[in-house]
Structure 1
Amino acid sequence: MTSGHPAGYSAISSYSRVEILHLIQEQSQRTIAELVDATGLHANTVREHLQRLIDDGYIIAEPEKRTTRGRPRVLYSAADGAETSSPIQRRKVRAAAERGDLMRRVLPETDATELDTAAVHQLDAVVEDLLDAGFDPVVDEQSLTIDLTPCAHATAQAGHRDVLCRVHLGLVEGVLREAGGPLTVTGMLPACDPSECVVQLRLRGDATRP
């Protein structure tokens, strides 16, 4: 189901990359100069982080469209599965659906679901992406939740929980949109325990869910 990378290999295991990704999720078409100013990191370090995020399908790079002479700047945007789509993320989504379908044919008992095929494929893609990112997600198809507890990232980077949660939610939303289907993200379920991390999903048009 996964690439087999350890959690430490994940592109979002580094808070510097999380911070960069957060900035790009908040505003698309960022330049390296803007990211250097915002993070205080050296330009070469920012470039290395950006390449890692590109390689994992989290962001894309495109040259600036210019009408004047001069070398165009490179602009970085988050792969949100809608306006901005990463070819790497598209390949991941297709591969996850194929592996999920194969598993359900080999193990028919795993096919017991009330969700339609598009929603199941969305969950296939999200679960694989989260596993590759170092999580151990548990999906409840009845309540439409994804339990990420314990979140290794939140433990290692406890002082940045708000940013981490926004970035993680953005990644889940992007994968769901890239996969295409009825599932969308509502948000994180409130919890007294800061170590708990549960993502709430809903079916589009389902007025019974928040």
Structure 2
Amino acid sequence: MTAVQVASALNLHHNTVREHLDALVDAGFVTVSTKPTGKRGRPALRYASTAPDPQQMVDAYLLLLDAIADTLGEGEEARATALEIGRRWAELTPGTVAEPTVDGEQVDRVTALIPYLAVMGFAPEVSGDTVVLRSCPLITRNHRPRDLVCTMHEGFLRAVVGPDPAAYERLKFLPNGPDGCQIGSTQPIHEEPDLKVVHADVA
């Protein structure tokens, strides 16, 4: 874009815009070039962001996840490895793995997941005693994640909930409905629950 085009889009004077563009060029956030027009006079300077296209970055990471899932293969061993990847992911993420529960302390494990679901791009919303996932960052018009990618998220969420099976509530991941996938809870149990993560079917 030229400075005039940027000024028009922002409804600012082109001299003001040019000063800011020059500052962005000096900082390395914007590149400047010229494109011959075949007309007389010096061609206008054209500015472009140095940042990569966000969608291209997302597509590249989605392909990486697919490659990991395909390499893991199928069956129980592949699922166990995917769960371990998710758990390790949580361990490497600062402040995510739950601390041991203090005796007698009531912990709302479902609510504890909300910040992490939000950061992961699921747009969680609390509805009563459940969390509704309004979107899935891994679903696009041309792409759906492999099942094992969902299993990696499952491992992440298990680690966030906590390592002690006797200390946390059983989490239920309900199939996608008209309002999106839901996460609810039942009574605490004394063995690790078989969690099922189902992403919201939203492009």
- Superposition TM-score tier, normalisation by shorter sequence: 0.3 to 0.5
Q: Which is bigger in relative contact order (C-alpha 8 A, separation at least 6)?
A: 1
TM-score by length of 2: 0.42
User: In terms of Rg, which structure is larger?
Assistant: 2
TM-score normalized with structure 1 length: 0.41
Q: Which has the higher helix share?
A: 1
Q: Which has the higher strand share?
A: 2
